[in-house]
Amino acid sequence: MAEHNLLGNKGEMLASRYLLDKGYAVLHYNWRSGHKEIDLIAQQRDTLVFVEVKSRASDMYGNAEDAVDDKKIRLLISAAQSYILKYKVDLKFRFDIVTVIGRCEPYRIEHIEDAFSPTW
């Protein structure tokens, strides 16, 4: 497996552990709707949280969250719509970004709640 894929997988695992430690229930990992994917779907009390995880070895080339561009946001919103319809979700929801920086401990994890809002 390519190094960036290993880093991404590790980042998703660390992000899910971080959310669990914060009291979230992680419902799905790498949930797919066609070619669209949501890294983590979690629940915090009465809110469903769609989480995009961005992992980087360092922040030398900028903030990891900046990689969540307009195209990625549109794909995430579309996938979330599919999820909501499929599971008949009747909860509030939001979109978060979790960034994981580093190749080894100590990792720097940042959680951006309500990182963007859908326009539907």
81/39 Cα distance (integer angstroms): 15
- C-alpha 57 chain-centroid distance: 17
In degrees rounded to 5, what are phi and psi of residue 51?
-115, 125
Write the CB contacts of 11 (distance below 8 Å, at least 6 apart in sequence).
53, 54, 55, 100
Q: Are 95 and 53 in contact (CB under 8 A)?
A: no
Tell me what the mean pLDDT of segment 22-49 comes to. Answer: 97
Query: How confident is the model over 103-116, as pLDDT tens digits?
Result: 999 999 999 999 99
What is the share, in percent, of the chain residues with pLDDT greater than 90?
A: 83
Q: What is the Cβ-side half-sphere exposure of residue 104, based on CA atoms within 13 angstroms?
A: 0
Tokens for 25? 């229930």
Query: How confident is the model over 36-47, as pLDDT tens digits?
Result: 999 999 999 999
The model's pTM is 0.94
**Residue 36: in which H helix or E strand, if any?**
strand 36-44
